[in-house]
Amino acid sequence: MTAKQQVKHLLDFIDNSPSPWHAVASVETAIQKFHFVRLDETAKWQLQAGGRYYVVRDDSSIVLFVVGRKTPAESGFRIVGAHTDSPGFRIRPNGATVSDGLARLGVEIYGGPILVTFTDRDLSLAGRISFLEDGKQLRHKPVRFDQSLLRLPNLAIHMNRGVNEDGLKLHKQNELPLLLAQLTAEQLPKPYFLELLAQASGIDAAQILSWDLAVYDTQKGVFWGANQEFYADSQIDNLASCHAALQALLDDTVLDSAQSTLVCAFFDHEEIGSESHIGAGGSFLADVLQRIHIATATEREDSARALAQSFLISADMAHAYQPNFPAAYDADHRVFVNKGPVIKSNANRRYSSESVSIARFIQWCEEAGVPHQRYTHRSDLPCGSTIGPIASAKLGIRSVDVGCPMWAMHSVRESAGVQDHGYMIKVLRRFFGD
């Protein structure tokens, strides 16, 4: 595939993944024809060398792995980690309210979105619902509203004269509820919303017990620029990295000749600190690796030997240079779209990269014929972080933080360069095939 075809594939992947629960379902769909076997954490596992497996924890984190021809004790794990969640809004449990005939949904802020980018967008909802089947069986399933359902209309400039000088400031409690419907005096907002949820999910309203609902932007991904060299969509951070890792792994040569045990680990909850039973700070990946050891190791010491020679690439997006804001960047570490994967480093370990892991990644780039760039954040601005330092500390393995450069990270509409996505797939494929 050309880089452009790969990005088209990515845009479809994102548009089919409006929430972390849907992102995991999209990964499952993508791996179907590659004969991955789903493992249940409550069952006993029997693994074969060369076998392809995956584990989902709580619907929104997933670990896929291919057992290598060599045991992990002989050649370690090759892991690419990324995250399935993106910052935005989550609907409050009793969020549906009405005043002056206008129904609204109250929201909590999830992670650190750029709030103003959610104004005047064609928003909708996606997530999962939990319900009772046959009066006793607890079930859960994804739910998605396809049509534009919600909106956060801006205040007209005539009522906010300073908006272009002072910026748009939204009060997080009072000014974020999303407009949902115009109701008659007889209609009550909570049953009204529950009925909408019932229609969208096909589950009877009386059976619905609870839900997790994320707000998403219904506008589909596009290419843009005079040469269509850029693309825009929601959730590029970090579904682009999940997609690149997946495309690198789902290659017949990589899958058939894996010597090391290859792992893709996509976690929810990165945007809120990763501390959960399914996040990178939780036990999920460590548990899966431990169970691979149990199935393949002959001695207790083998698991320590395996981890000591493993490598984690933490793949997450990087901040591309935006020429309108030159002062936002360290002048010597400006990175540009379409100029290759970015190796991110930070003296205070907000990124996991260090001399040795950086050198290895540079080697893989050179072997794959892929350019690379180096980034550090300005010292007078707080630096973001990734799953890299967290997962690497948890597992005790070496790690590097890399990612494709992008603009407007945490906007509801982000953008990036077409070539970089192809470059990232290439270098990750080299890593898996090494």
We find the least distance from the C-beta atom of residue 410 to Zn ion, in angstroms, to be: 8
26 vs 303, which CB is nearer to Zn ion? 26
111 vs 371, which CB is nearer to Zn ion? 111
**Binding segment for Zn ion among 45-53, 185-193, 237-245, 256-264 (CB under 5 A)?**
237-245
Provide the 3-class DSSP secondary structure of residue 281: coil
Closest by CA to 355, choosing from 306, 399, 310, 403, is 399
Closest-by-Cβ residue to Zn ion is 238
Restricted to residues 7-46, the positions that interact with Zn ion (CB under 5 A) are: none
We find the least distance from the C-beta atom of residue 11 to Zn ion, in angstroms, to be: 18
**Binding segment for Zn ion among 24-32, 101-109, 219-227, 229-237 (CB under 5 A)?**
229-237
How far is residue 128's CA from residue 22's CA, in Å, rounded to a whole number?
Answer: 9
- Cross-sheet strand order for the sheet of 342-344: 37-39, 52-57, 61-66, 261-267, 77-83, 311-315, 398-403, 342-344, 373-375
**Binding segment for Zn ion among 24-32, 159-167, 308-316, 362-370 (CB under 5 A)?**
308-316
Contact flag: residue 385 with Zn ion (CB under 5 A): no
We find the least distance from the C-beta atom of residue 295 to Zn ion, in angstroms, to be: 32
What would the DSSP string read from start to end of 356-411?
HHHHHHHHHHHHHT---EEE---TTS-----HHHHHHHHHT-EEEEEE-EEESTTS
238 vs 247, which CB is nearer to Zn ion? 238
- Cross-sheet strand order for the sheet of 208-217: 137-144, 123-133, 208-217, 88-99, 102-110, 178-182
We find the least distance from the C-beta atom of residue 200 to Zn ion, in angstroms, to be: 28
**Backbone Cα Rg of the chain:** 22
We find the least distance from the C-beta atom of residue 119 to Zn ion, in angstroms, to be: 23
Contact flag: residue 316 with Zn ion (CB under 5 A): yes
Contact flag: residue 237 with Zn ion (CB under 5 A): yes
Inter-helix orientation angle 20-31/236-249, to 10°? 20
Of these, 17, 124, 201, 238, which contacts Zn ion (CB under 5 A)?
238
Contact flag: residue 217 with Zn ion (CB under 5 A): no
Are 357 and 341 contacting, i.e. CB atoms less than 8 angstroms apart?
no
Place of tokens 């899966």: 288
212 vs 316, which CB is nearer to Zn ion? 316
Are 223 and 418 contacting, i.e. CB atoms less than 8 angstroms apart?
yes
Restricted to residues 65-124, the positions that interact with Zn ion (CB under 5 A) are: none
**Binding segment for Zn ion among 276-284, 313-321, 362-370, 387-395 (CB under 5 A)?**
313-321
Inter-helix orientation angle 3-15/418-433, to 10°? 90
Contact flag: residue 352 with Zn ion (CB under 5 A): no
**Sites of contact with Zn ion (CB under 5 A):** 237-238, 316
